Structure 1
Amino acid sequence: MVVQKKVIVITDGDEYARKTLDYLAGEIGGTSLSYLSDNPTHVSPSEVKHAIYNTSKDPVYVLIDDAGIPGVGAGEKILLELVDDPKIEIIGVIAVAAHTKNTEWSRFTFAIDHYGELIPYGVDKQGVRLPEIGRINGDTVYSLDQLDLPIIIAIGDIGKMQGKDDIKKGSPITRKAIEIILERGGLT
């Protein structure tokens, strides 16, 4: 029987996301692979998989980012390869809102707004509720609808959201998303 690594995918790879995930991995537990992230992602799927295999603590936080590239960009190529890997179990995705020119979107399980409330509506980059139910615009969300993922949580821009997800405040919105995924994935 193959022991699967438990992975949480985050669709953001900028400096704020990296610092936030490093901080939260230290607080909540797990391993942040933020050192492999960038905006856009430059590492190969095989590099990410090798890093996941060599971690000692689950969950493994994988940050991917297409930086507005339409269609399946570098970050989504990684996601697609992780989904197909029998040694990896994606227990959830944090889908980060973005202002994209090509308006890619995805459905999600629920969103967390900038107040930390669970809502059925989409959110924008600031974590502000949008009028549309169940859809988020982002630049690394194109493939999410096509995959069988257990939970997708939509949030605003990690570490930002008008200061409401600031690392100095403990990044409460991103933390809540991770804790819900861990609870649903049986890791709490």
Structure 2
Amino acid sequence: MSKKNVIVVTDGDETACEAVETVGKKLGLRTISKSSGNPTTMSGKRIVDLIKEAKSDTVLVMFDDQGNKNKGPGEEAMEIVLASDEIKILGILAVASGTKEVEGIKPDFSVDNNAKIVEGPVDKEGNSEIKGHLYLEGDTVDVINKFKPPLLVGIGDIGKMNKEDKVGKGSPITTKAIEEILSRSGVSYERDI
């Protein structure tokens, strides 16, 4: 049996979960909704088991530290998932937050609040950071620096960004980011418009 493809999302509050579920349905992907939470309560091992049981080749999972600047439950679970050799990580959607005093990550690119691909990081509202600002800061991202994901995509607060990514609009910014990970990974999907 081939390994499941996984896209990791570093946000799991109720709004983010609704947005990720919406995108999953739109693109024919399986969302592990039980991985959501603010903060994440499920263990990384259990999330890996749910990924392996999913009825889709490509799976979306969420992790959240509820604003904790230290290594919280979301990062602990994500660390186990990222280290697993039983699944294949396609990419990580790294979500910016207002959390300060974090290391941050350097995204390969970001998707701004206009659903445009931009170089460098964005802030919580999905605005491009000023030139020379290289790191995306978020409460559930620092542990990513221990790994080398194939793609690391920055994004603002999922399902929000001044209502530009709301579920009622189909979460177009989150959709664009996940489509970019899929297409750059060579994974086919069917978009349900």
In the superposition, the TM-score normalised over structure 1's length comes to 0.94
Answer with 72-81 or 162-171: which moved more: 72-81
Write the distance in 1 (CA, Å) between the matches of 2:116 and 2:19.
20
Determine helix, strand or coil for the equivalent of 2:136.
strand
The runs of 5 or more residues in structure 1 that have no matched partner are: none
Determine helix, strand or coil for the equivalent of 2:8.
strand
Larger relative contact order, structure 1 or 2 (CA cutoff 8 Å, min sep 6): 2
Write the distance in 2 (CA, Å) between the matches of 1:84 and 1:10.
15
Q: CA RMSD in A?
A: 1.4
Q: C-alpha deviations, 1:12-52, integer Å up to 9, x for none?
A: 00011111111111110111012231011111112111111
**Is the strand fraction higher in 1 or 2?**
1
Q: Identity across aligned pairs (percent)?
A: 37
Within the alignment, does 1:82 sit opposite 2:73 as a pair? no
Within the alignment, does 1:129 sit opposite 2:119 as a pair? no
1:160: which partner in 2? 160
1:110: which partner in 2? 109
Write the distance in 2 (CA, Å) between the matches of 1:155 and 1:86.
26
Q: C-alpha deviations, 1:44-85, integer Å up to 9, x for none?
A: 112111111110102111100111223322111222212222
The runs of 5 or more residues in structure 2 that have no matched partner are: 189-193
Equivalence map 1:1-188=2 (5 Å): 3-131=2-130, 132-188=132-188
Answer with 84-93 or 98-107: which moved more: 98-107
Across the two proteins, how many residue pairs are aligned to each other? 187
Q: C-alpha deviations, 1:95-131, integer Å up to 9, x for none?
A: 0000004334111101111111211132111111111
Determine helix, strand or coil for the equivalent of 2:21.
helix
The answer as to whether partners of 1:98 and 1:139 remain within 8 angstroms in 2 is yes
What amino acid is the match of 2:68? I
What amino acid is the match of 1:112? V
